[in-house]
Structure 1
């Protein structure tokens, strides 16, 4: 699996921004190869629907058939990349690009909501409850400082991932990092 898929075409970003496609791609990245039927059961859709959306993801280069794990008659699909990235400033050069980035931001927010909605505090030990969740910081920063923050956080996350690889208490966690200028009317 390649590390990242860097998108520069707004049409490709819009293709993956479909709510079901985002979920299917996320499941393939996190859980590994699966058939359309297996994914349909996980997301509560028909296998015909998941099959169609997997073919669309294939058409745009997000997934591929997993020939190593064929499942009889049904195709097994796997993600081609660990994550997807794009340059929002480049995308914002066209109305179609701005729309694609906006839609993708909404999909990311939906994921955050789904994950936190399903995080049941009663099901996790205190150690996890103490460190899980979100915080909201308001700071006055120029764009250069925000870029430095994002890059530093990414380096720290990579360092911690390497340091704690194989730790018995380690679990797959969602880590979100987001920032946007505060609207004057908020």
Structure 2
């Protein structure tokens, strides 16, 4: 992880469909994720990371900046030398508001599938590295699923407690040299009663 990573602070509440659509583009989501994980970078560095051309990468970075998800890091410079950084640590939105329109439902579906794609990439990378991981990490790693009966209020309580506990653990481990980035993907999706 880059020494400048983690400089983004706080939560961004995404309220407008146009903002949400800016996030729903697959390359933009990956660019924002890389800026959050690795810290500030130029379009050229990000294009190299994702095997895209610099022009396309610059275009998508400008779209993220226009929507307020990223900003220039430090002094403005030549467009190709401009360094970008994430503005917020995480984005949130109202699932109810997004489900109210066809555009919102489409953008939400794209975001959910991107999250599943991240999980697949992380599982594949984990499996490729499994033989070289320390035993403690092998023991701590895993993927699980549960099927439980809950009310919508209980699911919302679960989310709140889960994220609060994650924040506590991140703060606890912030200076521990044994800590490393850990991908956590969670879902709570109702099934039909039948």
User: TM-score over 0.5 for the alignment?
Assistant: yes
Counterpart secondary structure, 1:67: coil
| Paired position in structure 2 for 1:81 | 88
| Per-residue deviation, residues 111-169 of structure 1 (Å, max 9, x unmatched) | 11111111121121111111112101110111111111111111211221222221121
Counterpart secondary structure, 1:81: coil
Higher alpha-carbon deviation: 24-33 or 6-15: 6-15
Counterpart secondary structure, 2:158: helix
Q: How many equivalent pairs are there? A: 185
Deviation at 1:35, TM superposition (A): 0.5
- Whether the 8 Å CA contact 1:11–1:100 is kept in 2: the answer is no
- Whether the 8 Å CA contact 1:14–1:100 is kept in 2: the answer is yes
**Pair 1:60 & 2:46 matched:** no
| Paired position in structure 1 for 2:122 | 115
RMSD: 1.8
Cα distance, 1:172–1:71 mapped onto 2, change above 3 Å = farther
- Whether the 8 Å CA contact 2:115–2:185 is kept in 1: the answer is no
Counterpart secondary structure, 2:89: strand
**Pair 1:166 & 2:155 matched:** no
| Paired position in structure 2 for 1:22 | 29
Mapped to 2, the partners of 1:114 and 1:38 lie a distance apart of 21
Query: Tell me, which stretches of 5 or more residues in structure 1 are unaligned?
Result: none
Deviation at 1:82, TM superposition (A): 0.8
| Paired position in structure 1 for 2:146 | 137
Runs of 4+ residues deviating >3 angstroms: 68-73
